[in-house]
Amino acid sequence: MHKNNLVYKGYRLNAKVVRGIAEDAGHAPAKPLFTATVFVMQVDAVQDQGYEYPVPMFARGEFASSPREGVHVAITYGLSIVDALMGVTS
């Protein structure tokens, strides 16, 4: 199983992957599709679930072909969120 969380610069990133639903039920895809969101919280905030951020790729209606890809996209987006919170420009 692919690890769905990461600690980065004092923040914990947690990806939540869900199975995508085809918009047209009469033409369901041959393979399952997945989407994900990322939760960002400070590492020392044990009781706090953090803030949930929609991943732009999935918000545009695109899908990942596997849960592993969904996690990767969500965690990568979470890294950019943390960098923005810390004032790092790319």
Q: What pLDDT, in 10s, does the model give residues 13-66? A: 999 999 866 665 556 556 789 999 999 999 998 788 889 999 999 999 999 999
Residue position matching structure tokens 């020392």: 44
Q: Which pLDDT score is estimated for 47?
A: 81
Domain that holds residue 71: 15-20+33-40+50-90
26-31: which pairs have CB atoms within 8 A and are 24 or more residues apart? Answer: 31/65
Residue 45 is predicted with a pLDDT of: 82
How many structural domains is the chain composed of?
1
The separation between CA 47 and the C-alpha centre of its own chain, rounded to angstroms, equals 20
Q: Is residue 85 part of a domain?
A: yes
Whether 74 maps to a domain, the answer reads yes
- Decide if 79 is inside a domain: yes
Residue 87 forms part of a structural domain: yes
83 versus 26: the higher-pLDDT residue is 83
